[in-house]
Amino acid sequence: MRFKILALATVCTVLSTMALTQAINSSTNARVLGTGSVISFDFPGAVNTQATAITPSGDIVGRDTSQDGVQHGFLRSGGKFRSIDFPGSSSTDVTWINPRGQIVGDYIGSDGKQHGLLLSAGKFTTIDYPNAQFTAAFGIGATGEVVGIQGDSAGILHGFLLRAGSFSSIDFPGATGTLPTMISAGRIVGGYFSSTGTHGFSLTQGAFQTIDCPGATFTFLSGIDPQGRMVGGYGTADGNGHGALVIGGNCIPVDFPGGTNTYANGINPQGDIVGRYTGSDGIVHGFLLRGFVKTANVIYSAAHDFSTRLNPNAAWSYGFTTSVGGPFTLDTISGSTFFSGEVGWFGPISGATAPGYPLVVAEPNVIPDVLDMGPGPSSYAVVRWTAPSRGRWDVVGQFFGTGLTTGDVHVLRNGTPVFDSPLNGSQVAPFSLAIDVAPGDIIDFAAGPGPGGNNDFDPTGFNVTITPEL
């Protein structure tokens, strides 16, 4: 059985037959769309192509499937493709390449089992975790450390780190399966399975951290660069998959123009991203987005951008309305809540626990990267974003109750609702929207007290990231 990252989770496939090594000039035989920053490419004659990693010099590795259904690895260097096949294997997968040109992946051997592989200085080496049923190598760091997975006799997936010839196990606490995919500057990323679904993770100096894109049905991370910028993919409630670039706690969508089900697999220090997408022809293609990180730096995060000194604050404003979409009044009282000390902005309605209601405050000591929106009696706490430029923007976030919440939440474009939901107890209300705006258009995020108008125990957690589409 072969375990590998083909979609936004790990799936099992079995492939067979032999392969040949060849070098082909992509400029004459390969399908390449685009020049400059956005490039789509296919291995010549393949029925699908997926790019998995890119070096600082621009060499790309990946996998392709030939007409006979056999999977091969490939290296794309200087516009030319070269097939990579482990000798005597029936199938080869290539997942990462480091700056030294060392390549890792896995293959199906003559014994019918899946083994990890290392290709260094033209020489293949098998990687097998001791006593494992199967092994796959996913990532290799700049100094040769390898991360991957192995399956035990019960069929459980465990991660591993191979350093200086010695294996160590990697298991996310409480997970039913752990899949580390890459290591860079001592930090490991990947994904894990649990009773709550599929989640991304990072591991630094023995400390695990879950990484989920807001509103996602699942998240998985496939790569990281030395600066700590991570890539991967996530799913949305409509069943679509999107690539993800994670920077500073923000999850930025990566969607190939005109494609669907984009997945970002690899990133280099220059900010180039590679991966795969499904075209309008229904075929899976590889892609390269040159310098994508530079274009993706235009990102707004309600929690990260929150200011306790300025209102308005750049594109953000904090205030209230007395109805959904009603006239907006700017909060003018700044201070902190009386008991828990959250700092932020307050409305004119006096309260026993805060200088005023409705309120918008930051929770740095309670829940990082989250704002607390407190409605007032028959009034709505509102976080407003004003569009700086024309275009389509991805608006991804969530509201969530804090246990006793009995409220209602809304997203509005120029006063017209585009998302509405009740919010009761510990309910989560995720949203993922693509909204066309002109300069000066407004998007409001409103938290209200629910149908009864009583704001007792109605604090609402909130965050959103807003990014321009490519």
Task: Report CA-CA distances (Å) from 259 to 199, 287, 470.
Answer: 24, 11, 12
Which segments of 332-389 are extended strands (E)? 333-336, 343-349, 357-362, 371-374, 380-386
pLDDT at position 10, please? 29
CA-wise closest residue to 323 among 374, 384, 376: 376
Q: Which residues contact 28 (CB under 8 A, 6 or more apart)?
A: none
Sorted by where each begins, the domain ranges of the chain are: 2-294, 301-468
Chain-centroid distance of CA 447 in Å reads: 27
What torsion do the CA atoms of 438, 397, 363, 365 make, to the nearest 10 degrees?
Answer: -130
Instruction: Quote the pLDDT of residue 368.
Output: 53
> Is residue 295 packed enough to be buried (19+ CB in 10 Å), middle (13-18) or exposed (0-12)?
middle
Q: What does pLDDT average to in each consecutive run of 10 residues of the chain (470 residues)?
A: 38 23 27 60 98 98 98 96 98 98 98 98 98 98 98 96 98 98 97 97 96 90 95 93 87 90 96 96 96 75 87 92 96 85 87 82 64 90 92 89 86 97 91 92 95 71 82
- In this structure, the strands spanning 316-321 and 380-386 are antiparallel
Q: Where are the beta strands (DSSP E) in 236-332?
A: 241-247, 250-254, 260-267, 273-278, 284-289, 300-301, 316-321, 329-330
Prediction pTM value: 0.66
CA-based nearest residue to 161, from 174, 10, 176, 143: 143
Question: What is the C-alpha separation between 339 and 193, in angstroms, rounded?
Answer: 38
Compute and round to an integer the Cα radius of gyration of the chain. 24
Backbone angles phi, psi at 296, to 5 degrees: -85, -5
Note the pLDDT of residue 468.
Answer: 76
Q: Which H or E run contains 29? A: helix 26-29
What pLDDT score does 33 carry?
A: 39
pLDDT at 19: 24
Torsion angle of C-alpha atoms 47, 122, 137, 286, degrees rounded to 10: -30
Report helix, strand or coil for 295.
helix
Q: CB-based contacts of 109: which residues, under 8 Å, 6+ apart? A: 86, 88, 89, 90, 115, 126
Q: How, if at all, do strands 48-54 and 114-120 pair?
A: unpaired
Q: What is the pLDDT of residue 456?
A: 63
Supply the pLDDT for residue 6: 37
Report the topology of domain 301-468. Jelly Rolls (2.60.120)
Q: Find out if CATH 2.120.10.30 is the number for domain 2-294.
A: yes
Q: What is the pLDDT of residue 402?
A: 78
Per DSSP, the residues of 51-92 read EEEE-TT--EEEEEE-TTS-EEEEEEETTEEEEE--TT-SEE
Q: Report the pLDDT value the prediction gives residue 305, as an integer from 0 to 100.
A: 87
